[in-house]
Amino acid sequence: MSLNLASILRCSAAKYPTNPAMTIGDKTLNYATLDAYARAFAGGLQGLGIKPGQHVALMLPNVPHFTMAYYGSHYAAAPVVPLNVLLTADEVHYHLDDSDAVVLVAWEGFYEAAHAAFLRSEGCKHLIVVKADPSDLTADAGVTNFTALLGSATPVTELPATMPDDTAVVLYTSGTTGRPKGAELTHFNLYYNGEYAGSRLMPLTAETVGLVALPLFHSFGQTVLQNAVLRVGGHLILMPRFEPTAAFELLVKHEISLFAGVPTMYFALLHHPKAGDYDLSSLQFCVSGGSAMPVEVMKAFDARYGVSILEGYGLSETSPVASFNVLDRPKKAGTIGLPIEGVEFRLIDGDGKRVTESDTAGEIQIKGHNVMKGYYKRPEVNAETIVDGWFATGDIGMVDDEGYYRIVDRKKDMIIRGGYNVYPREIEEVLYGHPAIGEAAVIGIAHPSHGEEVKAVVALKAGAEATTAELAAYCKERLAAYKYPRVFEIIAELPKGATGKILKRELR
């Protein structure tokens, strides 16, 4: 039995041809048009000589062209390599060559980095640029305008017979340790994960209107928004870059019913100076992932807007959804919920033994239909990371008596102070409870006698004041002696990645 991700768009276009599929600004594409563009893109790839199985890299923001090229590549049986649009030319070059991409599709705003990387790449033969004015393109061999390519192509009519375990997307990890690695996700991985998100996690329908503030190049945005919503014939409102005022305006104007975001987005909306002026009564579903949601932020957002944020957990390597708080069971704030249907979790201690006691820390390992095939061209890493089907996440977690998991910390983020394990996540929860703190991150720094010392880096809320001495006293009151930070730094804003996740590696 064959399976192809493009069937998501193909089936919805057949069932809901005139329904709005995507809106950006004042422009809306219906399903029939979006599907026609995707088929034309596939024909364009074939016209360039792209063969099934060859990789197509996308360096596109939240614009309809991402979805056209994403499903269009699948119509041509070409796996997709979504790239972070903030990458430098050197980084793009690395991703192109590491993934063996033969095509790079880039937005005009990122043309400089994309073009420089394309010229340096040995294997990438075609650069397709989404650019309003084709005459502005450099006249290098292999450089093509996106619109011109579609206009001259013979659209694909049939869906290719790819297999469920064929690679659909090579999704590069954030590279917090070492160089980024490409997680090979299959058509089944992604199709089933999107189906779960849009039917069992949230009962989405053709009436669903979702705000796409998460980047589509990230697994969270691809699965929970693009694939889940388009599968049911819903409507996506595209936001190329998250900004709280603009987000509020879109939430109200389009009567958004689904919002998916990372904790920093919820925080920005909650603490917006005019947050109380916006009517968000249309919201039915709010989901959070990417990093742990501070409990106080969740409770405050739920109370203000009359919603219940469902927090979940996953990784690029798990398509990404692995566990979630669900609608038909009590929500436990501060947890990542229960493993999704068909997925197993287990906790492994430092000696490689399974943790059987509740509320005892261990590394989370995951097994199930959502786990990647492996890292592209990394057999040695795969042999260590996936053993007997169990994927070692590197995240430290605990499970309670009811089966709800919570993240204690990243394995690599754990601080060992004087022989004691210190989990930054626990300290960050305390810091977020301080009325002056807007953002917080805890890291380990070298110490001559303790090995590592605990350091807190915080950003204060607008107009708030606090001294490092006050913050130290606040933590000392609430944390064991070996846990509370001895070193504090107050900065204007914590560094974040494209998805809004705080980048501890930059703080280090």
Q: Comparing 194 with 424, which gets the higher pLDDT? A: 194
Top pLDDT among 247 and 480 is at 247
Task: Reply yes or no on whether the pLDDT at 337 is more than 90.
Answer: yes
- DSSP bridge pairs for 422: 415
The full DSSP string for 361-381 is: -EEEEEEETTS-SEETT-HHH
503 strand-pairing partners: none
Task: Return the pLDDT at 132.
Answer: 78
H-run or E-run covering 483: none
Task: Give dist(CA 101, CA 234) in Å, integer.
Answer: 31
Coil, strand or helix at 495: coil
At residue 144 the predicted structure's pLDDT band, cuts being 50, 70 and 90, is very high
Instruction: Report the Cα 465 to chain-centroid distance in Å.
Output: 33
Query: Is pLDDT at 440 greater than 50 in this prediction?
Result: yes
Question: What pLDDT does residue 176 have?
Answer: 43
pLDDT at 137 exceeding the cut of 80: no
Mean pLDDT check: name the lowest of 109-123, 143-157, 351-365, 491-505.
Answer: 491-505
Paired tokens of 452: 């590592």
Specify the pLDDT at position 178.
62
pLDDT digits (tens, 9 = 90+) for 92-127: 999 999 999 999 999 999 999 999 999 999 999 999
Residue recorded with tokens 């060559």: 97
Average pLDDT across the chain, whole number:
94
* Statement: residue 227 has pLDDT above 80: yes
Write the CB contacts of 91 (distance below 8 Å, at least 6 apart in sequence): none
**Cα–Cα distance measured from residue 505 to residue 445, given in angstroms and rounded to the nearest whole number:** 12
The tokens for 160 are: 């290719």
Give the residue from 499, 490, 447, 128 showing the smallest Cα distance to 316: 499
The residue-averaged pLDDT of 274-288 equals: 96
C-beta separation of 376 from 170 below 8 A: yes
Tell me which of 291 and 445 has the higher pLDDT.
445
| Residue partners of 406: CB distance under 8 A and separation at least 6 | 334, 335, 336, 397, 398, 399, 400
Q: What is the mean pLDDT of residues 123-148?
A: 88
Inter-axis angle of helices 468-478 and 424-432, nearest 10: 110
Q: Which of 24-28, 111-115, 175-179, 317-321 has the lowest mean pLDDT?
A: 175-179
The half-sphere exposure of 340 on its side-chain side, counting CA atoms within 13 A, is: 26
pLDDT of residue 425: 86
- Is residue 454 within 8 A of residue 420, CB to CB? The reply is no
Mean pLDDT of 297-308: 95
Give whole-number Cα distances, 372 to 95, 168, 379, 427, in Å: 18, 11, 13, 32
Return the CATH fold of 414-507: GMP Synthetase; Chain A, domain 3 (3.30.300)
The topology under which CATH files domain 23-185 is Rossmann fold (3.40.50)
Residue 480's pLDDT is 81
Rounded Cα distance between 144 and 69, Å, is: 14
Q: Quote the pLDDT of residue 486.
A: 96
Measured CA to CA, the distance from residue 318 to residue 341 in angstroms comes to: 13
Residue 335 has pLDDT above 90, yes or no: yes
Confidence label for 248 from pLDDT (cuts 50, 70 and 90) = very high
Burial class of 48 by CB neighbour count within 10 A (0 to 12, 13 to 18, 19+): middle
What distances in angstroms separate CA 11 from CA 58, 108, 441, one per listed residue?
A: 24, 31, 44
Most confident of the ranges 220-229, 445-454, 476-485: 220-229
Question: Which comes out higher in pLDDT, residue 504 or 387?
Answer: 387
Instruction: Give 175-206 pLDDT, tens digit per residue.
Output: 444 678 999 999 999 999 999 999 999 999 99
Domain segments of the chain as ranges: 23-185, 414-507
Q: pLDDT band at residue 174, thresholds of 50, 70 and 90?
A: low
Closest CA to 44 of 113, 147, 119: 147
Token pair belonging to 176: 């917090």
Cα 494 to chain centroid, rounded: 19
Could you tell me what percent of the chain has a pLDDT over 70? 99
Arithmetic mean of pLDDT, 144-162: 97
The candidate with the shortest Cα–Cα distance to 65, out of 45, 42, 87, 37, is 37
